[in-house]
Amino acid sequence: MDVDKIEVVITGGDRLSQEDVLKKSGIELSQSMLSVDSETAEKSLIGNPWVEEVEVNRNWPSVVSIWVSLRKPFANAVTSTGVVALIDSSGIVIERTSKRSALLPTILVEEIGLPGSEITNIEMLISAAREVTPDVNEWIEIITPVATGVRLKLNGSVFVDLGAPNDFSVPLKDLKAVLGQVELTCIQSIDVSIQENPVVVRDSSRCN
């Protein structure tokens, strides 16, 4: 019995094509069904950093099904030396890039490994980035770790202290309210670490 049909289903985006998946799986039409090694094909496919989950099944008598779920870019990760990468929401490096995606929040990390590796100890940064809405993201240059929790650097070198709350949606909601009421031109920093009590520090020298 030979392979007469290979069914490929890809979810989570279009970064990989069906042709990419077929080639990486090593499975071909007309090969013996008995020779199809599902485990080897899965290991080969999961070796691609874009692939989060994969399942390969032999459906007797002559069909092989391949299901692939792709990672979704969640944030830009950057180092102080300028290395940039796309990561998913669990901190897995998907791809190193030459520039940041303007549509994603950016977090500062100590080191970026090879694609497929995990950046550790960034859970708090990821929690903060998860609550950044697209409109607020337009104001943010980078999300950084500090001793007191998380700090944002906004356009114009305005710094925002979020603290280390269990729910970052609260300080970010307060920040959004502040941004809707003030001009950043004269502002040096904003502290929204205390719920519903933002503190705005102005610097008159910035107004000139």
* pLDDT single digits (tens) 177-186: 998 887 777 8
Distance CA 68, CA 152 (A): 36
The dihedral formed by the CA atoms of 181, 155, 75 and 78, expressed in degrees to the nearest 10: -150
What does pTM read for this prediction?
0.90
Domains, the chain:
5-70 (3.10.20.310), 75-207 (3.40.50)
The overall average pLDDT reported for the chain is: 95
Q: In the predicted model, what is the mean pLDDT of residues 140-149?
A: 97
Predicted local distance difference test score (pLDDT) of residue 84: 98
Q: In the predicted model, what is the mean pLDDT of residues 11-27?
A: 95
Q: In the predicted model, what is the mean pLDDT of residues 74-88?
A: 97
Task: Decide if 64 contacts 34 (C-beta within 8 A).
Answer: no
DSSP string, 36-95: --HHHHHHHHHTSTTEEEEEEEEETTTEEEEEEEEPPP-EEEE-TT--EEEE-TT-BEEE
